[in-house]
């Protein structure tokens, strides 16, 4: 039995519209619908990986790719003064969609601690 598609899988498959900023064979990136900063982009793997805690050694190249895409998007979005990358894991970590994704946040000074 296959699991139902997540919201992010449906976006990656173009079944649900999103404001895409990047797309390649490994991932898609789009603007968050509830931004927490002036720039808030999600980088989402096409592979249905629920969360970072479930990643394996086989996912190493994919995980690196997600970070490099986020870095390139930060450059394109002119976040030279700084940006933050966030990966939530599990309910207590703030995960709201069970599909691994990297938040790219920037466009203003970001406080620490974050939560």
| CATH code, domain with 51 | 3.30.428.10
Residue 67, domain extent:
1-56+63-84
Instruction: Please check the confidence at residue 113 and state whether its pLDDT lies above 60.
Output: yes
Report the domain count for the chain.
Answer: 1
Instruction: Please check the confidence at residue 95 and state whether its pLDDT lies above 60.
Output: yes
Please check whether residue 106 lies inside any domain of the structure. no
Active-site pick, 40, 65, 101, 103? 101
Give the DSSP letter of residue 91: G
Q: Tell me the average pLDDT across 34-58.
A: 97
Please check whether residue 91 lies inside any domain of the structure. no
Q: CB neighbours of 50 closer than 8 A, spacing ≥ 6? A: 98, 99, 100
Please check whether residue 102 lies inside any domain of the structure. no
How many angstroms separate the CA atoms of 8 and 97, rounded? 8
How many angstroms separate the CA atoms of 70 and 77, rounded? 10
Query: Which run of H or E residues covers position 28?
Result: strand 27-31
Percent above pLDDT 70 for the chain = 97
The reported pLDDT for the residue numbered 2 is 65
Please check whether residue 96 lies inside any domain of the structure. no
How many angstroms separate the CA atoms of 111 and 77, rounded? 20
Q: Does residue 101 carry a catalytic annotation? A: yes
């Amino acid at each position: 039995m296959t699991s139902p598609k997540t919201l992010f899988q449906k976006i990656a498959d173009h079944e649900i519209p999103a404001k895409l900023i990047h797309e390649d064979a490994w991932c898609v990136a789009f603007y968050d619908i509830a931004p927490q900063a002036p720039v808030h982009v999600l980088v989402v793997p096409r592979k249905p990986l629920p969360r970072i805690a479930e990643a394996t050694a086989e996912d190493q190249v994919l995980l690196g790719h997600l970070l490099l895409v986020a870095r390139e998007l930060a450059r394109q979005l002119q976040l030279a003064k700084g940006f933050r990358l966030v990966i939530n894991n599990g309910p207590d970590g703030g995960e709201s969609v069970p599909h691994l994704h990297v938040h790219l946040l920037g466009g203003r000074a970001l406080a620490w601690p974050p939560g």
